[in-house]
Amino acid sequence: MRQIISNPMSLGGFIIIASIMLLAITAPLIAPFDPNAIDVQAILLPPSNTHWMGTDGLGRDVFSRMLYGARISLMVGIVSVGIATVVGVVLGALAGYYRGWVDTIIMRMVDVMLSIPTFFLILAVIAFLTPSIWNIMIVIGLTSWMGVARLVRAEFLSLRSREFVMASETLGAGDGRLIFRHLLPNSLTPIIVSSVLGIASAVLVESGLSFLGLGVQAPQASWGNILTDGKEYIEFAWWLSLFPGLAILMTVLGYNLLGEGLRDALDPRNSN
């Protein structure tokens, strides 16, 4: 924590993410309007003291929708990365520990998955499913585990030949003890960093799916479908595109800065 705070970039990322999470958690308390309340007398109003980020084509308050959209975007990012991390860690650990034919089969699965553009794979799967937030989280998670699996496999292959692992194996430690007591704890640094960076990618994917109409469905607010609404009025209602675009930009930037800071802080070679 001391190293993260001492690094201006990682500290900036931490502040950005903490602020967005705080706004998302407290959205029901601080949102000035119902995000789905339609007001035909307040259609496409510019930012003002009443509507801080203006209103959309149905008179809904954009600031309130942005707050509730943050809840959706962050939840999709965190849950989908959690699914991807679990799948990637399990498969990567099996490949790196047992090696041989297990490693060959799992790595060929990874190669096949990586040969397909992830976003188009997600689009193809979503097209056959009912668009919902849970389907989006599961599909993103199950199509983005390959990087974690390769990282964990590489760490396990490196640690498998270390003296402390060989000593434990000589003393009769079983597979479970070797994996969960020695190998996995010493592989946490790349897993944590990859997970933090993965949240930024998941937020972008969710926003892209919602923008295309295959993600979070109206009237539920997400940054992507707010952007979709804004494209129809971009010539004169600039606020509908500016604010959700800035929110996505700041969120992705914050997670990337925080991920870089965590990588430096968790690297034992940088410890003082």
pLDDT per residue rounded down to tens, the chain (272 residues): 777 777 788 888 899 999 999 999 999 999 999 998 888 888 898 999 999 999 998 899 999 999 999 998 889 889 999 999 999 999 999 999 888 899 999 999 999 988 888 778 787 777 777 777 888 888 889 888 999 999 999 998 888 878 877 788 777 777 778 888 888 888 888 898 889 989 988 888 888 888 887 777 777 888 888 888 888 888 888 999 899 999 999 999 999 998 888 887 776 555 55
Cα 268 from Cα 272, distance rounded (Å) = 9
What are the respective helix, strand and coil percentages of the chain, to the nearest 5?
Answer: 75, 0, 25
189 three-class SS: helix
Q: Which residue has the tokens 């539920």?
A: 220
Cα 237 from Cα 34, distance rounded (Å) = 21
Cα 44 from Cα 148, distance rounded (Å) = 44
Domain ranges in the chain are 2-35+50-270
CATH architecture group of domain 2-35+50-270: Orthogonal Bundle (1.10)
pTM of structure: 0.86
Question: What single DSSP character describes residue 42?
Answer: G
Q: Which residue has the tokens 């010539």?
A: 235
61 three-class SS: strand
Cα 146 from Cα 90, distance rounded (Å) = 11
